[in-house]
Amino acid sequence: MAELIRDMVPSIEKVRLVNSGTEACMSAVRVARGYTGRAKIIKFEGCYHGHGDAFLIAAGSGALTMGEPDSAGVTQGVAQDTLTAPYNDLPAVEALIAANPGQIAALILEPVVGNMGLVVPATGFLAGLRALCNNHDIVLIFDEVMTGFRLAAGGAQELFGITPDLTTLGKIIGGGLPVGAYGGREEIMNWVAPAGKVYQAGTLSGNPMATAAGMAQLRYLHEHPELYRDLEATSARLADGTRQIAAELGLNYTVNRVGSMFSLFFTSQPVHNLEDAKQCDTAAFGRYFHAMLERGIYLAPSQFEALFVSTAISEELVEMYLKACRESLVEAHRAK
Ligand SMILES: Cc1ncc(COP(=O)(O)O)c(C=O)c1O
């Protein structure tokens, strides 16, 4: 399993298997702290990295959908070590680093965000973060729990050509069973116990059943590179079709897409960060969601979740979706 991961994601020289994306992100941050000897981390508003305490500050996904992006039960002591910046805002990151000199252990982000709806990294954003981390000896962590093995065999880092220091993986890597992984530069991963001083272990980590499922999944992806081309074509049809239908109905809605992840935002403004996403008409989204459900299409039930296109989506299903999309958008706005 480790060899497959290393083959597919070359920035991962050494990898540790865990049981979930949450565990992977929590552990990656602990290693970064051990390695740098620093306490603080930077994350972006609306990014979700699982339910580890340090990440439930301005979190995306379910926390955001419930209107509680900061969780009860997270102590002040933990919260003060998590600094947040708006996504796609390099000057804000620079300002945080300047205000906390020599104190930032890691910068963690979704290289393509799926947890405030689909948000695309602006041109130069990932490269800018890479350069800032280099200049300030900060560990750059790409959370590829969603994007890993999905946007390309090598994830978002392959697609955008940016190499992080550490990567976290989940979801696809388990082929449906609970697996996560974190890994990256050997020099950093050598800090993980028992080789190094950063403790991390788990009874069920790397258990045979989940690992077998993960290996079957990764081998399949490895052996079928054409699958990404097909997914791209299907996703383009769905996302472009959605945008066109909305426009034809006089709704100048924003559709963001990268590879097989996309979102229809119920706003005519571009969506580059959480504040933009929050401008959406979520009541209209709710009506649209239910209208789609009545037509047999079960979308992610939140404006702040991306849609993930599956290889199971056939031509026939694309047509069914586009028809339902048109009718549901009409219904969502008629009801207003
Ligand atoms: C980007 C990202 N990171 C981390 C996680 C947490 O993974 P898990 O739910 O497996 O703990 C998620 C889950 O949705 C995620 O989308």
pLDDT in tens, 240-254: 999 999 999 999 999
The per-residue pLDDT for range 228-239, each reduced to its tens digit, is: 999 999 999 999
**pTM beyond 0.85, yes or no:** yes
**Tell me, what CATH number does 285's domain have?**
3.90.1150.10
Asked if residue 311 and residue 179 are part of one domain, the reply reads no
Asked if residue 42 and residue 95 are part of one domain, the reply reads yes
Name the catalytic one among 81, 87, 143, 182.
143
**Tell me, what CATH number does 165's domain have?**
3.40.640.10
- Counting every residue written for the chain, the total comes to 336
For residue 300, give its domain range: 226-334
Q: How far apart are CA 186 and CA 96, in angstroms?
A: 28
Quick one: which H or E segment has residue 319? helix 315-334
Asked if residue 159 and residue 254 are part of one domain, the reply reads no
Neighbours of 224 (CB within 10 A): 12
Asked if residue 292 and residue 214 are part of one domain, the reply reads no
Asked if residue 109 and residue 12 are part of one domain, the reply reads yes
How many angstroms is it from 50 CA to the middle of ligand 1?
A: 5
Asked if residue 189 and residue 76 are part of one domain, the reply reads yes
**Partner residues linked to 82 by β-bridges:** 41
How many angstroms is it from 145 CA to the middle of ligand 1?
A: 6
Label the pairing between strands 180-184 and 14-18.
antiparallel
The average confidence (pLDDT) of the chain is 96
171 is catalytic: yes
Asked if residue 128 and residue 50 are part of one domain, the reply reads yes
230 is catalytic: no
Q: How far apart are CA 132 and CA 137, in angstroms?
A: 8
- 3-state class percentages of the chain: helix first, strand second, coil last, to nearest 5: 45, 15, 40
At residue 58, the pLDDT reads 83
Last residue of a domain, one of 223, 244, 266: 223
Q: How far apart are CA 237 and CA 241, in angstroms?
A: 6
The per-residue pLDDT for range 146-155, each reduced to its tens digit, is: 999 999 999 9
CB 124 within 8 A of CB 160: no
**Partner residues linked to 257 by β-bridges:** 262
Q: How far apart are CA 254 and CA 266, in angstroms?
A: 7
**Packing angle of the helix pair 315-334, 226-248 (nearest 10 deg):** 30
Last residue of a domain, one of 223, 249, 283: 223
Q: How far apart are CA 25 and CA 4, in angstroms?
A: 20
Q: How far apart are CA 23 and CA 29, in angstroms?
A: 10
Q: Give the CA-trace dihedral at 105, 132, 143, 33, to 10 degrees.
A: -10
At residue 65, the pLDDT reads 74
Pocket test for ligand 1, best of 17, 49, 182 (most atoms within 8 A of CB): 49
What six digits make up the tokens of 218? 């990764």
Whether pLDDT at 38 is above 70: yes
At residue 67, the pLDDT reads 67
Region of poorest pLDDT, from 30-44, 64-78, 315-329: 64-78
Helices and strands counted in the chain (H then E) = 13, 10
Asked if residue 329 and residue 241 are part of one domain, the reply reads yes
The per-residue pLDDT for range 149-178, each reduced to its tens digit, is: 999 999 999 999 999 999 999 999 999 999
Q: b/e map of 65-85 (b: 16 or more CB within 10 Å)?
A: beeebeeeebeeeeeebbbbb
At residue 66, the pLDDT reads 73
DSSP assignments along 162-182, one per residue = ---SEEEE-GGGGTTS--EEE
What average pLDDT does the segment 179-200 reach? 98
Residue 118 binned pLDDT confidence (cut-offs 50, 70, 90): very high
Pocket test for ligand 1, best of 17, 51, 146, 166 (most atoms within 8 A of CB): 146
Residue nearest to atom 5 of ligand 1 (CA): 50
Whether pLDDT at 336 is above 90: no
Residue 129 binned pLDDT confidence (cut-offs 50, 70, 90): very high
Name the catalytic one among 35, 40, 43, 48.
48
Asked if residue 316 and residue 277 are part of one domain, the reply reads yes
CB 102 within 8 A of CB 68: no
The per-residue pLDDT for range 2-25, each reduced to its tens digit, is: 999 999 999 999 999 999 999 999
**Backbone phi, psi, residue 77, to 5°:** -60, -40
The per-residue pLDDT for range 50-94, each reduced to its tens digit, is: 999 999 988 877 777 776 668 889 898 899 999 999 999 999 999
Asked if residue 8 and residue 98 are part of one domain, the reply reads yes
Asked if residue 295 and residue 217 are part of one domain, the reply reads no
At residue 59, the pLDDT reads 82
At residue 286, the pLDDT reads 97
**Partner residues linked to 258 by β-bridges:** 261
Label the pairing between strands 14-18 and 40-44.
unpaired
State what percent of residues in the chain have pLDDT above 90. 92
What six digits make up the tokens of 92? 């804000």
Distances from the Cα of 49 to the Cα of 54, 97, 141, 166, 262, angstroms: 9, 21, 11, 14, 19
> Which residues sit with their C-beta closer than 6 Å to ligand 1?
20-22, 25, 48-50, 61, 110, 114-115, 143, 145-146, 170, 180
Last residue of a domain, one of 186, 207, 223: 223
Instruction: Count structural domains, the chain.
Output: 2
What average pLDDT does the segment 210-225 reach? 97
Pocket test for ligand 1, best of 171, 261, 302 (most atoms within 8 A of CB): 171
**Partner residues linked to 139 by β-bridges:** 106
Asked if residue 143 and residue 123 are part of one domain, the reply reads yes
